[in-house]
Chain A
Amino acid sequence: MELPRYHRMRRALYHLEGSACAACGGRFFPPRSVCPSCRKGDLAPYRFSGRGTLYSYTRVGQAPRGFASLAPYDVGMVRLEEGPLVTAQLSDTEGVDLAIGMPVEMVTRTLRDAAEHGYIVYGYKFRPLLRP
């Protein structure tokens, strides 16, 4: 079981919490312990707004193990308004013409099939804006 792993990741999964470098102001997702830009170690948790634009996307038809119950589904790279590029599943896209540059917002959804032992993983996905 991967319960401790998901528990450790819950702030990133639920809040899109990454990190911000006190030295150079860089913002990172997922969180880093050393700044990849200036190599300083003074990083603090930083919660991203969840707003961004679609950088690229594709449709997954043959889902990897653990995701079959959701297939087919869309995956996107999202450029957060604070800068980082995040790869995530897209949601509420059935019947929507996705386009590069489309504004999207973070939502919390189930991320994968319930595991054999039944644990449900919740986390961030992105959807087209509910109120464009």
Chain B
Amino acid sequence: MKTTQEVGIVGYGAYVPRPRVPTRAIAAAWGRSDEARLPVREKSVPALDEDSITMSIEAARSAVARARVAPDRIRAVWVGSESKPYAVKPSSTVVAEAIGATPWVSAADLEFACKAGSEAMQAAYAFVGSGMAGYALAIGMDAAQSKPGDQLEFTAAAGGAAFLFGPSPEAVARVEGSLSYVTDTPDFFRRQHMHYPEHGHRFTGEPAYFAHSRGAAQGLLESLGRRPSDYRWAVFHQPNPKFMRRIAAEMEFTEQQIAPGAVVDRIGNTYSGASLLGLAAILDVAKDGDRIFFCSYGSGAGSDAFSLLATRRLEEVREEAPSVRDYLARRHEIADYGTYLRMSGKIRLL
């Protein structure tokens, strides 16, 4: 899919909260002792005063700072998340107000499991590309939910990124095209009034994550007449270190191409934020002329793929806001499972 007008990412920003819980603390609480089998060493957890709205605000402010755009010129703020603080009341209006984009702005929250953020990117790309908006902001952010004791608890993390789309001449990365691939695949869900999502265990793999990531990625490459070797960098959705590397290897992307965006290795799976945070980490290192391949995945299920081309402006504005590396470097360890439960809001009084 291509827009009639050339569009690019004109600014980007990331956010990862400071607290980290070692996964061995989670394993110990549930009587699992085999540390070698833990998917990641530690994961990010929101502080007591953070949620997906506050994290979105900081990422959005960084995106606007790098774009050097007056916030009242932004015509859309779309927040993709599956950890909205309110069941009814948009997160996007708080973010739009906090960055100074109100009142002449479109705003809504999107939900598509881990694909909500990249769906916001598709919408923002199209909104600018159609000429309806000069600038549109897409955010993917989660304080990821997981049932205590479930396998997901070892990876469900907090963080995400924001991307401001705008005219191609101002781009830090031009959009060359995008493609979505969606089917009804029930691998993961949470109904209203349920605190934690349910998942289909092994069913989340081949028929879900792999089939959809493969569909979107191959489809976009074929439509553009490209091969994985045409790209300097690549990022896939990263629910755990294994899935991301398996799809990359199957598609013939190398470890060197995905390494800078492999944020899951450091902080776990940030759900709607995961692939976007990986893309932000790649923009932190990409140089003028580097091609970047992006592919998200969200349960339910679907993938969005983007082909991007980094510009010289990327290197000029990079230092205007904190890098993903800055956020990964600041950390405060929560050593005990009880404190982790409190901070992630999992303690409920009867």
Q: Which A residues fall within an 8 A CB radius of B?
A: 10, 14-15, 69-70, 73, 89, 91-92, 94-95, 107-111, 118, 120, 122, 125, 130-131
Q: From A14, which residue of chain B is reached at the shortest CB distance?
A: B98
Contact A130 B48 (CB under 8 A): no
> Given A70-B49, A108-B58, are A120 and B332 also a contact pair (CB < 8 Å)?
no
Does B330 lie at the interface of the complex (its beta carbon under 8 Å from any beta carbon of A)? yes
Within the assembled complex, what's the spacing in Å between the Cα atoms of A10 and B99?
12
Contact B58 A122 (CB under 8 A): no
Contact A130 B322 (CB under 8 A): yes
Does B85 lie at the interface of the complex (its beta carbon under 8 Å from any beta carbon of A)? yes
Rounded to whole Å, the gap between the CB of A108 and the closest CB of chain B is: 5
Q: Which residues of B contact A15 (CB under 8 A)?
A: 98, 100
Rounded to whole Å, the gap between the CB of A89 and the closest CB of chain B is: 8
Rounded to whole Å, the gap between the CB of B265 and the closest CB of chain A is: 22
Does B185 lie at the interface of the complex (its beta carbon under 8 Å from any beta carbon of A)? no
Contact A10 B97 (CB under 8 A): yes
Contact A131 B85 (CB under 8 A): no
Within the assembled complex, what's the spacing in Å between the Cα atoms of A118 and B87?
11
> Given A120-B85, A130-B322, A131-B322, are A91 and B332 also a contact pair (CB < 8 Å)?
no
Does B266 lie at the interface of the complex (its beta carbon under 8 Å from any beta carbon of A)? no
Contact A131 B100 (CB under 8 A): no
> Given A14-B97, A130-B326, are A108 and B48 also a contact pair (CB < 8 Å)?
no
Interface residues of B in 304-345 (CB under 8 A from A): 322, 326-327, 330, 332
Contact B18 A92 (CB under 8 A): yes
Within the assembled complex, what's the spacing in Å between the Cα atoms of A73 and B47?
11
Q: Which residues of B contact A10 (CB under 8 A)?
A: 97
Contact B326 A122 (CB under 8 A): no
Contact B100 A92 (CB under 8 A): no
Within the assembled complex, what's the spacing in Å between the Cα atoms of A15 and B330?
25
Does B254 lie at the interface of the complex (its beta carbon under 8 Å from any beta carbon of A)? no
Q: From A69, which residue of chain B is reached at the shortest CB distance?
A: B48
Contact A109 B50 (CB under 8 A): yes
Rounded to whole Å, the gap between the CB of B276 and the closest CB of chain A is: 19
Q: Which residues of A contact B50 (CB under 8 A)?
A: 109-110
A-B interface, 7 closest residue pairs, ranked by CB to CB distance from nearest: A109-B49, A14-B98, A110-B49, A108-B57, A95-B332, A94-B332, A92-B18
Does B82 lie at the interface of the complex (its beta carbon under 8 Å from any beta carbon of A)? no
Q: From B58, which residue of chain A is reached at the shortest CB distance?
A: A107
Does B94 lie at the interface of the complex (its beta carbon under 8 Å from any beta carbon of A)? yes
Q: From B49, which residue of chain A is reached at the shortest CB distance?
A: A109
Rounded to whole Å, the gap between the CB of B81 and the closest CB of chain A is: 14
Contact A122 B100 (CB under 8 A): no
Does B53 lie at the interface of the complex (its beta carbon under 8 Å from any beta carbon of A)? yes
Within the assembled complex, what's the spacing in Å between the Cα atoms of A26 and B72?
26
Within the assembled complex, what's the spacing in Å between the Cα atoms of A73 and B326?
24
If A107-B54, A110-B49, A131-B322 are given as contacts, then 5 extra A-B residue pairs at C-beta distance below 8 Å, sorted by A number, are A69-B48, A91-B49, A94-B19, A94-B332, A110-B51
Within the assembled complex, what's the spacing in Å between the Cα atoms of A61 and B48?
15
Contact A70 B48 (CB under 8 A): yes
Rounded to whole Å, the gap between the CB of B8 and the closest CB of chain A is: 26
Within the assembled complex, what's the spacing in Å between the Cα atoms of A115 and B47?
19
Within the assembled complex, what's the spacing in Å between the Cα atoms of A9 and B54?
17
Within the assembled complex, what's the spacing in Å between the Cα atoms of A125 and B97?
17
Q: Which residues of B contact A94 (CB under 8 A)?
A: 18-19, 332
Q: From A110, which residue of chain B is reached at the shortest CB distance?
A: B49
Contact A91 B47 (CB under 8 A): yes
Rounded to whole Å, the gap between the CB of A48 and the closest CB of chain B is: 13
Contact partner of B326 (CB less than 8 A), chosen from A95, A107, A108, A131, is: A131
Rounded to whole Å, the gap between the CB of B333 and the closest CB of chain A is: 8
Interface string of B57-79 (1 = CB under 8 A from A): 11000000000000000000000
Contact A109 B54 (CB under 8 A): yes
> Given A15-B100, A107-B58, are A130 and B51 also a contact pair (CB < 8 Å)?
no
Within the assembled complex, what's the spacing in Å between the Cα atoms of A89 and B47?
14
Within the assembled complex, what's the spacing in Å between the Cα atoms of A87 and B50?
20
Rounded to whole Å, the gap between the CB of A16 and the closest CB of chain B is: 11
Q: From B321, which residue of chain A is reached at the shortest CB distance?
A: A131
Within the assembled complex, what's the spacing in Å between the Cα atoms of A103 and B225?
52
